[in-house]
Each structure stands twice: as C-alpha cells, then as structure tokens.
Structure 1
Amino acid sequence: MKFDLNKLVWPALRQVSSGDVAGLGKASFSKRTASLKSRLSDADRVVPSVCPYCGVGCGQEVYVKDEKIMDIEGDYASPISRGCLCPKGSATMQLVTGTHRHQKVLYRRPYGTKWEEIPLQDAMDMVAVRVKKARDATWEDQTGKGHPLRRTLGIAHLGGATLDNEENYLIKKLFTSLGMVQIENQARI
C-alpha cells in the first residue's frame, strides 16, 4: 500500500510509510516547517567586519537589507573566532541600532537638575575650552632640577571597550601630544 506523504497528517504514519522511522528526513516535516526559512535569507548582502569591542578582532558578518543592518553574526570563516562571539560581540547589533541610545548631545548645566539638548559644535567647543584650561593650569614643563617633563597630570583618559584598535591608536597619539600621561582603556582593565 503506497501513501502520499503530503496527505498524511500524522507524522508517525509518514515516518513508517516512508521508511524514515527515526523521523530525521522529510517525513517529519509539516507544512509549516517545510515553509520555514532563515531570518537572514532576505538580506541583500553580507558585509564582513570585525567586532569593535576589544583587540582580539573576532570576525563578524553584517547582514544588510535596504541599506539597513538587519543582523550581525559571528563569521565562521574567521580564523580567530570561527563564528563565535563573546556576549559583548553578540550584542553589537544593539550598539549600532539600539533605540535606547541618545542621538543628540545632552548637557546638564552646573547645579542644574535637567538635561538639555545642545548642538554638537557647542559641545565640542566646550570640551576643547575645558581641556585647554585644565592643561594650562596643570602643565609641568620641567622638574625642580631642570629636567624636561612637558606633561600634565590634570587630565586623564579612560577609553571605552567599544573603540576599535585604530580609534585607540589615534586617541593615544592625540592625548600624548597634549602632554597627557594617564591614558588607559577599559578593555584592558
């Protein structure tokens, strides 16, 4: 007796009639499971990338649809991570597209109780003025014996783990040129 596998509703009958007793083949599929597809199959393209969180350099694949990121996964072709990502790397999608992230500069005035939005250029100017003022106020040109120092201990920098190696390199060069010696990164702590 021959059965049409598509007409059999009960999976056990499909398994027995097709010889797939273990249910590892098409006999175990329902109409719904046969129609399922990967959530990433609709991507227009996959862009190779590197995780931005630390210096390990785990490979990532960025899935793009309609010029928007739809997902970020580990890259199995990466000899470093072989498709694996740590919890921070797995959350890269939230770093890029998180709705909880502020997209504007917020400023709270001294003794203020509320945050207010200010233009980015105003914020950059405020930071530049304050860095210059702190640097000038704490500048040490030489020791008491006349040995050159050319440094400031009044400013320090602690970088975040979301910075990549190139950004950390540039930050180190910038802050060293300002005379800062206390420069560290959270990824190493």
Structure 2
Amino acid sequence: MPKLTRRQFFKFTAASVAASYLAEKQAFAKDNENDKTYPLMTAGAATSYGICHFCSVGCGIEIKTKGNEIVSTEGLKNHPINEGALCPKGRSLKEMHNSKLRLTYPLVRKPGSDKWEPISWEDAISKIANKIKEVRDNTFEKTITTKDGKVVKVNRVNGMFSLGSAEIDNEEAYLYTKFNRALGVQYYTHQAEI
C-alpha cells in the first residue's frame, strides 16, 4: 500500500472541500436529455417557524409552504433543543396536512358491524358526552372509609382514564387538567410519560 505524502494529503483535502462546496451551492438539477434546469421544491416557498408537536421534547421546526400545501419541514438550526436535527416523525409532519388519507370527519362502528361509518360532528360530540355522563354516573364515588373507620369525602370517578397529548400547549394542558378535576377523574396523565 503506497504511503500518502503530506503534499498528496493537502491536494486531496483541497479537492474534497472544493467538491463539497460546489455540490452545496448547486441549486438546480440538470436534465441530460434537454439540458433544462429545474428549481428546488422549496424555491419561492414561504417560511414559518414553530415547535414540533409529536412529543414533549419541543424541537424547533422550519416549515416551507406554497399556497395551501406544506412542501418541506426541517429542523430549526439555531434552536437550543434540537440544533437543526429533526426525527422522522417531525420530518414527515407535512403529511399530517397534505395526506389525502387524513380523516376530516368522525367515524363510528355500530354494535355487531365490521365496518366504520361516517357520522356528523354533532352526533359524535353528543355520543361522547352521553358516554362520559353514563360512566361518571355509574362509577362516581362520593366518600371512602379509611382503615381507622373515618368517612372521607373524595368525589371522584373510578371508571375513567384520560390521556393528554403533546399536540396541546401549556394553556390547553392547564384547561385539560381543570376539566379532568371538574369531572372527578383521578386517573390522568400525559403522553410524554408513556
């Protein structure tokens, strides 16, 4: 194996730096047949900044949009948490908005059926509210008796569990907690603990 001299090392290093600089600066892809140039998908896109909502880490995200469509999501380079990095969930965030498979209406599967059917938002909210009331009425516990025989007022619901979401901000999380406490739900947690 031939030995690499100091001069050869500097030549290879300079060539590598020049090649990577040129590759980074090239903003157009060439079509060999017609010698046409095509702009990048983010050319002319509006840029917005925010926080990724998939988990509780709080990575900074840069979102590029054209019209009503998200064309790119990237990590925010100067964000103190992720410093430009973004996990696959954050990177694919655009599909939450752009996907044709995304549901935009509620579905219900009736007893004995093997398929889901669309229902109106009013019906869905009504069904959820009725089910919450039914479970609360059936599992509400006003008092408990301690080991020493004292009767203690607890006013709690034992038949419900509520799981919070990283999709909500601090203010919404505060309201979520207050809502659970108002219902008497004692078993609730946040997605970040799972």
Q: Does the pair score TM above 0.5?
A: yes
The residue aligned with 1:159 is 164
Runs of 4+ in structure 1 off by over 6 angstroms are: none
Match of 1:32 in 2: 30
- Ranges in structure 1 where 5+ consecutive residues have no aligned partner: 1-20
The aligned amino acid for 1:32 is: K
Aligned counterpart, 1:93: 94
Equivalent-residue separation in structure 1 for 2:98 and 2:175 (angstroms): 25
Q: Confirm or deny that 1:57 pairs with 2:74.
A: no
Q: Secondary structure at the match of 1:128?
A: helix
Shift of 1:142: 1.2
Contact 2:158/2:185 (<8 A) preserved:
yes
> 52-61 or 34-43: which moved more?
34-43
Identity of aligned residues (%): 32
Cα deviation digits, residues 1-53 of structure 1 (max 9, x gap): xxxxxxxxxxxxxxxxxxxx947377xx898289454321220x201110001
Q: Using the alignment, how far apart are the partners of 1:36 and 1:68 within structure 2?
A: 19
Structure 2: give runs of 5+ residues left out of the alignment. Answer: 1-13
Matched, 1:79 2:84: no
Say which SS state the counterpart of residue 143 (structure 1) adopts. strand
Q: 2:187 is paired with a residue of what secondary structure?
A: strand
Q: 1:81: how far off? A: 1.0
User: What residue identity is the alignment partner of 1:142?
Assistant: T
In the alignment, which of 121, 146, 151 is matched to residue 146 of structure 1?
151
Aligned residues: 165
C-alpha deviation, 1:67, in angstroms? 3.3
- After TM superposition, the score normalised by the length of structure 2 is 0.74
Cα distance per residue 1:99-133 (max 9 Å; x no partner): 22212111111122221111011100100011011
Name the CA shift for 1:68/1:123 in 2 (closer, same or farther; >3 Å): same
Letter of the structure 2 residue corresponding to residue 181 of structure 1: Q
Q: Is the 8 A contact 1:55 1:164 kept in 2?
A: no
Amino acid at match of 2:30: R
> What is the RMSD computed on CA atoms of the aligned residues?
2.6
Note if contact 1:54-1:164 (Cα within 8 Å) is conserved in structure 2.
no
- Match in the other structure for 1:10: none
Residue 179 of structure 2 is aligned to residue 179 of structure 1: no
**Partner in structure 1 of residue 10 of structure 2:** none
2:49 pairs with 1:48:
yes
1:65-107 deviation digits (Å, cap 9, x = unpaired) = 1133222211112121111112222221122222222121111
Q: Which amino acid aligns with 1:42?
A: G
Deviation at 1:160? 4.4
1:52 partner SS: coil
